[in-house]
Amino acid sequence: MKKSLIICALASLLAGPLHAQSSSFTLGKWVEVNNAILKELSRSYVDSLELGRIERAGVDAMLSALDPYTVYVPEEEQETFQMMLSNTYGGIGAVIHKPDVDGNVIINEPYADSPSAKAGLRCGDEILSIDGLSTHGLKTQEATEKMRGKPGTTVKFQVKKLRGGPSWKAGDVIEVPVVRERIVLPSVEFVGMVEDTTGYILASKFTDGVAQSVKDALVALKKSGAKRICLDLRGNGGGLLSEAVEMVSLFVPRGSVVVTAKGRAAGSNAVYKTSQAPVDTEIPLVVLVDSGSASASEIVSGALQDYDRATIIGTRTFGKGLVQSIRPLPYDGQLKVTTAKYYTPSGRCVQAIDYSHRNEDGSVGHIPDSLTHEFTTAHGRKVRDGGGITPDFEVKGRKYSRLTYSVVLSGIVEQYAMKYVREHETIPPVEQFHFKDYEDFIAFASDKTFDYRSAAHAEFDEMRKILEEDGLADALKSQLDALQKSLEMDKESFLRLKKNEILPFIEEEIAVRYYFQQAGIRVRLRYDDALREALAKPSIKI
């Protein structure tokens, strides 16, 4: 027995160094193999090589074998990456549209109070040149890059005006200088009352400052008479963990654990607690989530659910329970690397058990209870882990037909909105505006090319192809032809059939072009049946 103990002791002493030596050897081996392959390819490969492209492809493939969130960010992509984190950039503050490379740039949507709006640029104005350079031949991205720049600098446009103004007529070409500013895209896109006593906050991202924006909105809504708050995190893909912690701190006592991070590397384990005094720990709170609510959205909804502080309503969230950190690399590159998993106050990890097999929208698929674990909220309610946050009440969002997706995603609704703006100088205030020219839209859309098959028709076409490959189509020709005929519907009839689905999108696109983004959100809320159903649910007692 003494001999066995000595052997065990030796084994435990040697295990660590041997493991470290093995990992170090493996790393050195593959670095050497990779360098040898590149040298040999550079020397022997039959064609000339773009070594930068090959190496980038290799790095991306290596990282994709880990998880979807560990990525390499080279120097030339830093600006875009930082914009994603901060939601800011230097520019004129407008969405542009370029129908074709040889055409002009069209102002599609200036932001409210932006440099473009202050300079008098409006939806439908055409930009002929940027700092003397013709926009003809420029791609949309190239035009965008020339408009962006350091805040305080001036960019000069040659503009063909859609409408008359103080010193020009419709169609006149004028010079418009615009002083660039630091454009901050709001993470809190809308704040307002949706019922007599219900305040509504729409937070679309967890970028720097979003928690303060939610705090300001909460205070303002309470002053406006809000007796209940609805925090909408639907489609919010997350962002900064620190902002999630600060957002939770608005509603729970100081010192409450919000999330725990657990990783392998030194410094990756941490417990995040609220450090600020709350705004209100008692006001009834509803949090709306869906399959697009991920990461920081899940930290917020999970913590508030674990403390029984909010009623979570919607559909199960995305299921991203991984923490990423930024590590510097040579040549000013960066590695966004997954360093930990996070856990809600009750101990749940929201990371999907298998993030490689998800639904079509990327969210968590079905997970049987046998593969999950049960946890308990502050008041003893049962909750489970295994992927995402399961809401207290399920309320599904509106389902749209294949035709509606096709019309919207192909840009036909957006193009029609531009046509409408050219033909209508004004519209009523957004609360009174209702689009009543749907037959005109049908006539416009019918001349456009898009896939207007129903989902059943698309499935039928795929089935027919398979039958043809299997040599069975000829034998079933009469039945297939009869079924195809019954599925066919002309474009105009199908558009007319789906009017109730498409109409809200048209109204939103038109409203935005006259009254900016806030108006578009107001139109969206007008048709948000899921929101109304959610607000009719009972609240969790705290």
Angle formed by the axes of helices 412-423 and 402-409, to 10°?
60
Using only C-alpha atoms, the chain has a radius of gyration, in whole angstroms, of: 28
In this structure, which amino acid lies at residue 264? R
Amino acid 406 reads S
d(CA 388, CA 394): 14
The span from the first CA to the last CA of the chain, in angstroms, equals 59
- SS3 (DSSP) at 329: strand
Contact yes or no for 350/344 (Cβ under 8 A): yes
**Is 320 labeled as catalytic in the residue annotation?**
yes
The backbone torsions φ and ψ at residue 375, rounded to the nearest 5 degrees and listed phi first, read: -130, 170
Catalytic, 295? Answer yes
How far apart, in whole angstroms, are the C-alpha atoms of residue 234 and residue 246?
19
Q: Which of 125, 232, 290, 306 is catalytic?
A: 306
Question: In a 3-state reduction of DSSP, which class is residue 108?
Answer: strand
Burial of 208 (0-12, 13-18, 19+ CB in 10 A): middle
Residue among 295, 297, 301, 346 flagged as catalytic:
295
Run of H or E including 354: none
Residue 306 a catalytic site member: yes
What is the per-residue DSSP string for 412-473?
HHHHHHHHHHHH-S----TTT-----HHHHHHHHHTS------HHHHHHHHHHHHHHHTT-T
Instruction: Select which of 301, 320, 346, 363 is catalytic.
Output: 320
Residue 423 — φ and ψ, nearest 5°? -95, -10
Assess contact for 283 and 310: CB atoms under 8 A.
Answer: no
CA pair distance 536, 422, nearest whole angstrom: 41
Q: Is the dihedral of CA 276, 281, 284, 287 positive or negative?
A: positive
HEC string for 511-537: HHHHHHHHHHHHHHHHCCHHHHHHHCC
Active-site residues, by number, are: 295, 306, 320
